[in-house]
């Protein structure tokens, strides 16, 4: 199971003492807490989360896609919240949690798997780029 959302940018004070940020962290913490661990039964707050983020520039149709591992449900929720609260400007922000994993080694393997899947699709993305009139698409 994965969870994906389009981020709604919020501009409100400093990130450290922001009541909106804290509310979003709690909401995302609950949402990603529902994800079942891959090949494991027990959920723990110290599980690893494979998070994908994308920033799409509306005017240029350029997308930056990143995949990262976050250790712990709270760290993943904070990362997603901070990503979502960036100033919107001319960009569309999206995020997705692909996997919940029990250990660092499994997380690294899953990260490599997702990156390989993405890289294999690059050849097919030419058709998508034409369809969406995107100039470039890249992964970091």
pLDDT in tens, 92-115: 889 999 999 999 999 999 999 999
Burial 87-107 (b: 16+ CB within 10 A, else e): eeeebebbbebbbbbbeeebb
Residue 1's pLDDT band (cuts 50, 70, 90) = very low
Q: Is the pTM of this model over 0.85?
A: no
pLDDT exceeds 60 at position 8 = no
pLDDT digits (tens, 9 = 90+) for 47-73: 999 999 999 888 888 888 999 999 999
Mean pLDDT in the chain?
83
How far from 130 is each of 19, 100, 113, 137, 139, CA to CA, in Å? Answer: 42, 34, 26, 12, 18
Residue 6's pLDDT band (cuts 50, 70, 90) = low
pLDDT digits (tens, 9 = 90+) for 66-81: 999 999 999 999 999 9
Residue 31's pLDDT band (cuts 50, 70, 90) = very high
CB of 76 within 8 A of CB of 1?
A: no
CA–CA separation, 106 vs 41, rounded Å? 15
Write out the two tokens for 8.
């709604």
């Amino acid at each position: 199971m994965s969870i994906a959302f389009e981020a709604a940018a919020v501009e409100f004070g400093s990130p450290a003492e922001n009541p909106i940020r804290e509310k979003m962290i709690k909401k995302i913490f609950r949402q990603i807490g529902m994800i079942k661990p891959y090949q494991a039964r027990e959920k723990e707050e110290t599980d690893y989360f494979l998070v994908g983020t994308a920033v799409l520039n509306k005017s240029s149709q350029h997308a930056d896609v990143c995949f990262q591992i976050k250790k712990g449900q709270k760290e993943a929720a904070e990362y997603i919240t901070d990503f979502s609260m960036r100033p919107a400007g001319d960009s569309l922000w999206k995020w997705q949690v692909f996997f919940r994993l029990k250990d660092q080694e499994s997380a690294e393997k899953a990260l490599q798997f997702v990156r390989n899947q993405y890289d294999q699709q690059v050849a097919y993305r030419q058709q998508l780029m034409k369809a969406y009139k995107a100039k470039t698409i890249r992964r970091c």
